[in-house]
Structures are given as C-alpha cells and as structure tokens.
Amino acid sequence: MHLVDNAVIMAAGTSSRFAPLSYEKPKALIPVKGEILIERQIRQLQEAGVPEIYVVTGYQAEAFSYLEQKCGVHLVHNPDYLKRNNNASIYAVKEFLKNTYLCSADNYFTENPFEREVSDCYYAAVYADGPTKEWCMQEGEDGTICHVQIGGENAWYMLGHTFWDEKFSKKFVEILEREYDLPETADLLWESIFMKHLSELKMKIRKYADGVIFEFDTLDELRDFDSSYICDTRSQILKEIARQLHCGEENLRKITAYKDDTNEAAGFTFSVGEDRYLYSYQEKKLRRK
C-alpha cells in the first residue's frame, strides 16, 4: 500500500470547447449543483486525508488566488499553458510528484473516489457500451495497461483522476525531462507520453460504474447534468445574445467553439430552432450563418 503524499489538480487550460462560459471565467470555477467544481474536488481530497494539494494555474490564474486562503492549497503557475499541452503542467510540479493523485480541475465526482492509502498506480475509467471516441485501454495478463488507443468500442476508457506512486512519478519525470525540449513533445498530452512508454510506466485500470465520474466539455453537456443551466446560463454573453434575438437562454443550443489561425479562441456557433448563428468573441459581433 502507498500512503498518499499529495494531489495535483491541473487547472491551467483555457477549456475552449466550453465557450462562452470559459471566456468569462475558468471552467473549474463554475458552480455545478450549488458547488464550485474545483472547491468540491479539493473538499473530497481533504476529506480523504490527502495532506497537501497543489493547483496548477495558467489561464486567468488570478481567479484562483482565493483558494490559498479559503482551502489551504498551494498554487503553482504554468507559464507555458498557451504554448504547450498539459505536459507543461506536469513539468511545473515535477518536484512535488511522489505518491500523488493527478486530477483535472473540471471533473465532478458524485461519490468521493479518493483514499488515504492506495494499492497500485491506476487511471480511473468508465465503460463504453458501444463505440466511443475516448481514449480506450486494454489490460495485459498482469493486469496493467498494455495498450491505449483513441477511439474504440465496448471498452474501458480514461475518465477522471489517476494515481501515481513514487516509482511511477520518478520514471515519468525522467522521461519528461529527457523529451521535454523535443519539438514534437510540446503538443502532447501527458497521456500521449504515457502511451509511448507503457513498458516502463506500469499502471492499472480503476473501474468505476456509470454515474460516478462526470466531465462537461460543452454547455449542452452541463445542462444535461445540472438543469438549472437550461434557463440561466450564468453567461453575460449568452444573456446579451438572447436579448438581441428576443428569446430565452434555453433556446440557445448546440454551442460549438471555434478557433482562429493562431489557435486562439475566436468565438462559437449555436442554434436557435432551425437557424444557425455565429458569434465572434474578438469582434463581439453576432451574425446568422
């Protein structure tokens, strides 16, 4: 058994797919069923007895500053959150990685999944009954993950937190430091690095039932979970659009973010009935497609 030393919550990303709410505040700071996403996760970690929690910030980092005093966490800034994928967040906290929970700030757990002692390294997973576009895992004879692929069917796929023991943390940091400055590494998720080194990085699958782990990539997905967002999106942008179109916020549906040539968040498209609209965040303009 491994006594948990700490947890790292990655909250540096822009969550561009969660437009337009993510334009106005980091996704981790939105309320879901009456509780701020990241505050709920911090509370669950602390209730499990995890002694130290590090929150990696980047986008709108100042918005997280209150957490130090309110929740007693440590903030670590990732200066490369716009230039690199989440491997930069791992790099920013590499000195703290021991027996560590690695978490995403935007996960919602209906049950507390954390423990003070953990037996094996694992990645949380839920089962896809049928086809999925998620990261699917296969187990070898020894129970460790032997294959990961993007997309599959009738498979366990990555969703939620992961636990690294001290041996895994040391090995992953060695690999990350070795490959960090390679041009091809910048755009990689840490999971992609893990995929390339499965023989060195031994990890099991922790299987969870449906309804325990949630992740909301879009406002429409959040509305399916928290119906209070149907008529009140908490977005000043959407409230103004509804005013201009003389409709309720519940009529703004199928919201899809898009980026410009520089990969910056540029705006989003959405539907009102049969009509499709485009909102330019940079120009603050609305037009029908």
Q: Are 151 and 118 in contact (CB under 8 A)?
A: no
Angle at 161 between CA 206 and CA 121, to 5 degrees: 50
Across the range 233-257, mean pLDDT stands at 96
User: What confidence score (pLDDT) does residue 245 get?
Assistant: 96
- Whether residue 128 has pLDDT greater than 90: yes
pLDDT value at 91 more than 80: yes
- Say yes or no to pLDDT of 81 above 80: yes
Which of the four pLDDT bands, split at 50, 70 and 90, describes residue 266?
A: confident
* pLDDT for 194 beyond 60: yes
Average model confidence (pLDDT) for the chain?
95
Task: Provide the pLDDT for residue 207.
Answer: 97
**Arithmetic mean of pLDDT, 269-278:** 95
252 C-beta neighbours (distance < 10 Å), count:
23
CATH superfamily entry for domain 2-124+156-190+201-215: Spore Coat Polysaccharide Biosynthesis Protein SpsA; Chain A (3.90.550.10)
pLDDT at position 70 is: 97
Give a three-class secondary structure readout of the chain. Answer: CEECCEEEEEECCCCHHHCCHHHHCCHHHCEECCEEHHHHHHHHHHHCCCCCEEEEEECEHHHHCHHHHHHCCEEEECCCCCCCCCHHHHHHCHHHCCCEEEEECCEEECCCCCCCEECCCEEEEEEEEEEEEEEEEEECCCCEEEEEEEEEEEEEEEEEEEEECHHHHHHHHHHHHHHCCCHHHCCCCHHHHHHHCCCCCCCEEEECCCCCEEECCCHHHHHHHCCHHHHCCCCHHHHHHHHHHCCCHHHCEEEEEEECCCCCEEEEEEEECCEEEEEECCCCEEEEC
pLDDT in tens, 133-187: 999 999 998 889 999 999 999 999 999 999 999 999 999 999 999 999 999 999 9
* Ranges of each domain in the chain: 2-124+156-190+201-215, 235-288
| Amino acid occupying residue 91 | Y
Token duo for residue 131: 């086809």
**Residue 262 binned pLDDT confidence (cut-offs 50, 70, 90):** low
Query: Using CA atoms, how far apart are residues 58 and 165, in angstroms rounded to an integer?
Result: 26
pLDDT of res. 143: 87
Predicted pLDDT at 258 = 83
Q: Quick check: 211 pLDDT over 70? A: yes
pLDDT of residue 101: 98
Q: Which residue has the tokens 């930069």?
A: 88
Instruction: State the pLDDT at residue 265.
Output: 66
pLDDT at 289: 80
Convert the pLDDT of each residue in 37-80 to its tens digit: 999 999 999 999 999 999 999 999 999 999 999 999 999 999 99
CA distance 20 to 4: 37
CB 159 within 8 Å of CB 136: no
Q: Using 50, 70 and 90 to split pLDDT, how confident is the model at 281?
A: confident
